[in-house]
Amino acid sequence: MHASTTAPRFTFPCRVYYEDTDAGGIVYYVNYLKFMERARTERLRHLGFSQAQMASENLLFVVHSAQARYHAPARLDDELAVSVQVQELKRVSLKFYQQVRRRSDDTLLCEGHFTVACVRADTFKPRGIPELLYAAFNADVQDFAGE
């Protein structure tokens, strides 16, 4: 594994597809969690870490808890910007703060806090976050504190 230790604010772009919407034509609430999961995965990839590679090295991240607050609906074909920021870093866990915004008018649609634990892939027991990954996440925490 290798990591980039520079941590600019990370935003993942996505679009709302028909499959993301409910009968009323708005994004079904649970799909915001999917958008945020994808953004966290892409943040890892941007830092130089592949989930497949980490799994082969007996490392997984699992969601321990999730909290979401919904502000406004997204609709079919909206372009979204999903941000990811490490809010708190511990030896075996991280707390992420995320937002989903509509790109056309920067409206906050949903925000959430996610606690993610680092575990062994073979036993699902907690394990320390590897040093390179910890350093990359630590840069995110410092960036968050500076905002």
| Locus of tokens 């937002």 | 99
Judge contact between 103 and 13, C-beta under 8 A: yes
Query: Looking at the annotation, which residues are catalytic?
Result: 22
What does the block give as tokens for 11? 């935003």
What does the block give as tokens for 58? 């007996």
Angle CA(43)–CA(47)–CA(65) in degrees, nearest 5? 40
3-state secondary structure of 79: strand
What does the block give as tokens for 28? 């079904």
d(CA 40, CA 10): 9
Judge contact between 15 and 80, C-beta under 8 A: yes
